[in-house]
Every structure is written in structure tokens, then in C-alpha cells.
Structure 1
Amino acid sequence: MMARGLPKRKPIVGVKQILLVASGKGGVGKSTTAVNLATALKVIEPEKEVGLLDTDIFGPSVPIMMNLHDTPLLTKDNLMIPLINYGVKCMSMGFLVDEKSPVIWRGLMVMSAIERLLRQVAWGPVDYLIVDTPPGTGDTHLSLIQNIPITGVLLVTTPQSAALHVTRRGAVMFQNLNVPVAGLVQNMSTVICPKCSNNFSIFGNGSQSLADELGIELLQDIPLDTKITEFTDAGTPIVIAQPESNQSEAYITLAKKILHFLSKQQVSTVEKKRELS
């Protein structure tokens, strides 16, 4: 019933495919995943245009993680020009407000800001737009689902039961609204002891059970690793900073699986159009 009540979605000018990175739970590494996924896509397919949209109005992370702090310039049509680093076009509320000032807004103002980030940005051409979403299953997610054609959503969780429980809610929301789920990323899955080099699952390993329950694939395990954190905080995704590392390879593998999903969705869309015609 919710899906049938949605308005007609309008594409973003110049954007071909849109992938949300989401989880009902906060603090599970959505932004880190989104940033490394976007840069990994650009590394794998340098001839393609990749965009990264930060829709967390209250706690934007992309400016720090992508080392971008300027104010966007405007085109002659008053569209904001995305900032670019590592070949990825980026837009965030963090580019438009002072980084030390909190955003204290009600829901309608947040929705207006989301609309501006979607429609008043000179995105095109973009082959893959990765959208980093805030925690929860609220206004931002519904606004995105209602207003733009979403190719799919990548769910991010950590293995402990509290995170899995909330991630399940997010997954059910997307499935109920007919948004294809690309799969699940288990973040902070293991940690390697710096002394003995043994690999420990400090938070358990419940993500595979959730994936099985939801009928989706567990696409990748991402370790809890100081290098990922250090490079992310320094504004250089590990995919760029240490491209030959095991940590980088995990994101590259994830990006390849996402490209396969996006390709399948594109073929499915073309076939549906043919059937309708």
C-alpha cells in the first residue's frame, strides 16, 4: 500500500543510476563504506563519472572523508557545481554551512535542503551516484524514495545483535517500498591482533543469518582496522591511500559486486520498457 501511494519519481538530470548506502543504525560505518565504494568505482572504471551525495543534513561526513571544504561555485543557471576529489563529484550540506555550526532545523527545512541537493546541483554527467544516507528510516529516506528513481540500496551493519535488529527494520522498509536491495555489508566484522596476527570476531557473526532471513547476499566483510580509520579521518580513502592493501581490496571487491548488480538492474529496466512498449 505504501509503494502504491508514492508519487511519480523524477530522474536527476544527467544521472544514470543511483545507489543508496543505508542502515537503520547509526555508527556502523555507512559513510566510510560510501566514500570507499565511490572511489573504488572510479578506480575500477576511470572512464565512468562517479558522484557522491551526502544526505545527512545534521551530521555530514563527506567533507572530512573526501578532504573537501570549499563552497561550491554556481553555473550561469544558478546550479551548484559539485566539488571533486579523487575523480569523484561530491555534494554535501557540509559545503554550505560553517563546519563548526550545528544545523538546527525542523523537518520541512530538512526536506527542502534534500531537494536542493538533488535538483539544484549540476550533477551531469554521472554514471553512478552513491548516496550516503543518515541513520533511521525517516523523512530523508522517504523523500529520496518518493522523488528519484533509485536503482538499489546497499545495507551496512555491524555483527552485533543490536545493530542487526535495527538494520532489519531498514531492510524491510526498502523491500516494502519496492527498492531493490543490492546486498549487505558486514562492517567491523573482525580485528587482527597487532601482536599475534590472529583474526578475532569481536562482535560476533550474525550478519549472514540476517542476509539469509532477508533473502539477500552478504556481499563483503570489512574489518575493524586502524588504517581505514586513520586514512578516512585524514581525508584520503584507503582505496586511494593504499590501493594494494588487503583493506583496499575488500572495497574493490565490494565495488565489483555492486557494478554487477547495477548492470543487472539496467538490463532489467530496459526489458521492462520493451514489454511496456
Structure 2
Amino acid sequence: METDSSSLEMNSLQLHKRARRARIENIRTLLVVGSGKGGVGKSTVSVNLAVALARQGASVGLLDGDAYGPSIPMMLGVRKKKAGQGSEVTLPLAHRGKLAPEQMLKPLLRYGIKIMSVGFFIGEEQAVAPMPDVLGAFIRQLLYSVDWGELDYLIVDLPPGNGEPQATLCRELQLDGALLVTTPQDIARIDTSKALAMFRDVDVPVLGVVQNMDGFLCPHCGERVEIFPRSREARAQLDDLLLLGSIPLDPAAAESGDRGQPVVVSKPESPVTTAFICIAKQVTTIIETNRTTAARQAPAENQEEAPVNQEEAETVKGDIFNNERED
């Protein structure tokens, strides 16, 4: 019997919305930074946003969610040029349930934030290729395998696209918000619109969009020059999204990233740093407003939608799949 593709898509969407999503212990706010397009500066935004939040007094963690091309280590000055071998690349990711404290990975501390990346275990030119169908579970378990301690914010820097680990994280974890990153030209905005639709389809709140590489600042005279052609085509959902900030294209920012220093550290008075600080303040305000609004909801509704821990989430997920098979 042929299976109707639209029915499969609807069942998948319903599964996303029916699953009870888990919270990571001691993490007050879990955010993801993504975009449908590669090369728009998601990692640059993730790093500088994390450091800006930490400099405002928050406790912050940052997970590099890109297993294929991790960028966070180099941007934060933690380089591993030699290829990892044997036990160096063994991670405690096969264990289901809560790990004992001695089994958990210790994050590195850089510029006031706790960081973890697959890039810590492999050489910076060494390839790692987890199967796409297990990539989501790989990144999810890495989140649980790190001893983050108590954090106000944990930011996940997502890889390009709308596949994995995005699908697994959206389905199984209680995400407090997503930030989208784009550049001015339409080729980037098209894919960012797809990412926006993906997050909204699975009920993940999108806090807003960051427009990166928005004009070039001349290092000599400070004049602003439009490098990328601005999109002339309206995209209703994306255009209606809150613009968290516009980041100018500044050679000093790129140079800082290559040296392992976030621009908010190396150039604290620059327009780029000013933009990131404003974005961090907006994110904080939005999160606190959303939390206050949620607290006003009826107790019964809150109890019905209460998030669960990792082990309970695994049980619920299994029950849902079993019910789908019986149908």
C-alpha cells in the first residue's frame, strides 16, 4: 500500500508537538543560534553573544553543535592541530540516562564562558563524519554529558541547514528561543526564511533575526559601504520578525576571530561590539518578558505542559512511537 507523503509529514509534525520536551538540569535558559544558510556568521554571533551576556553578569555556556566543521575552538583560542587518536576521541555518548559526576566532560573556560566542542577532541584539519541519522542524538547526548554547573544561558551554535541536529533538539529539548542569522542578500534570506518556518512548525519561539555583514566599515575613514546587494523581494514572515541588530562587516572582527579573541574583547569600543552588546540586552529582556508571561498562566496548564528530565523524555518518546505503530 502506498503511503501518502503529506500524511507522513503531518504525523511527523504532530509527533514533534506531542512529545514532552526535557530540560537540561541547572540550565535556566537554552538558546540556539541558526540559519538555513552556511557562511552567514552564526558562530561569530554565537561567540560574541555569549561573551556579551557574560560581561553583563550572566553565567553562560556555549556548545558548538557543528560536528562536521566546528569553529568555536579557533574563535576562542583553543586550537588542536594534531589529529586525535584512540582514547583522545572517545566521548561518553553511548550511555543512556544520567552520568556519574566522574564520567562527565569538563567544559573549558574562556573569556568568562564555559565552552564545549567536538573540535576539542580532534585536530582542526581532521574530519569527523557521524552518520546523519545519529547526528542529532550525538549532539543531544553531548549536551547532557558536559558538567555545565548552573547556567543562566546555554547557547548552542547550530550547523547550516534544517536537518540534524536541529530536528532532534527541537523535538526532545525545551528550547527557550532561537536566534536567526542572515546577511542582506536574498540568497541568504531565502534559506533563513526556511529556518524560521522550521522552528515555528515545532513551536520553538524565535526571538528575532540578526543581520550580519550589513555594510562595510572602512578602517581608514569609517565610511559605510554596501558590499552585498540588499534583497528587494519581500518575505513576509522574515520581514515581520524582530530585528535584534545589524552587524557591520569590519575586517578587525574577522581578524580577532582568527586570533582566538572575540571582537567584544579585542575591540570593546567598536561599532561591531556595540551592536553585540545591544543584541545581548535585547535577548535578556525578551527572555525575562517571556518567562514572566508564562508564569501568569493557569497552574493547571503549566502542570500539563511541564517539561521532564532526560530519562522521562526517553520513556515518553518510546510510548509515542509505539502508539504510532499500533495506529
TM-score of the aligned structures, taking structure 2 as reference length: 0.78
Alignment-derived partner of residue 264 in structure 1 = 289
> 1:203 is aligned with what amino acid?
F
Match of 1:133 among 158, 170, 193: 158
Alignment-derived partner of residue 205 in structure 2 = 180
| Bigger Cα Rg | 2
| Number of positions where the alignment pairs a residue of Structure 1 with one of Structure 2 | 275
Most deviating of 159-168 and 260-269 = 260-269
Q: Determine helix, strand or coil for the equivalent of 1:139.
A: coil
- Take 1:85 and 1:113, find their aligned partners in 2: how far apart are those partners? 24
Q: Which residues in structure 2 correspond to 1:35-50 (within 5 Å)?
A: 35-45=47-57, 48-50=58-60
Matched, 1:30 2:42: yes
Alignment-derived partner of residue 64 in structure 1 = 74
Match of 1:111 among 136, 140, 150: 136
2:214 touches 2:248 (CA, 8 Å); kept in 1?
Answer: yes
In structure 2, stretches of 5+ residues that fail to align are 1-9, 81-87, 93-99, 304-327
> 1:163 is aligned with what amino acid?
A
Q: Which residues in structure 2 correspond to 1:163-174 (within 5 Å)?
A: 163-174=188-199
- Take 1:208 and 1:235, find their aligned partners in 2: how far apart are those partners? 37
Q: CA deviation at 1:120?
A: 0.9
- State, as a whole percentage, how many aligned pairs show the same letter: 38
Distance 1:104 1:42, change over 3 A: same
1:3 touches 1:178 (CA, 8 Å); kept in 2?
Answer: no
Distance 1:207 1:253, change over 3 A: farther
In structure 1, stretches of 5+ residues that fail to align are none
2:47 touches 2:262 (CA, 8 Å); kept in 1?
Answer: yes
Distance 1:192 1:242, change over 3 A: closer
Task: Map Cα deviations across residues 140-196 of structure 1 (whole Å, 9 max, x no partner).
Answer: 100110121100100000011100111111111111111111111110010123455
1:159 touches 1:207 (CA, 8 Å); kept in 2?
Answer: no
Matched, 1:145 2:170: yes
Matched, 1:85 2:95: no
Distance 1:239 1:210, change over 3 A: farther
Q: Determine helix, strand or coil for the equivalent of 2:70.
A: coil
Q: CA deviation at 1:76?
A: 4.1
Q: Which residues in structure 2 correspond to 1:239-254 (within 5 Å)?
A: 239-254=264-279
1:211 touches 1:217 (CA, 8 Å); kept in 2?
Answer: no
- Take 1:242 and 1:191, find their aligned partners in 2: how far apart are those partners? 16
CA RMSD of aligned residues (A): 2.3
> 1:9 is aligned with what amino acid?
R
Distance 1:128 1:121, change over 3 A: same
> 2:15 is aligned with what amino acid?
G
Instruction: Pick the structure with more strand per residue.
Output: 1
Q: Determine helix, strand or coil for the equivalent of 2:28.
A: strand
Alignment-derived partner of residue 83 in structure 2 = none
Q: Determine helix, strand or coil for the equivalent of 1:25.
A: coil
Q: Determine helix, strand or coil for the equivalent of 2:169.
A: helix
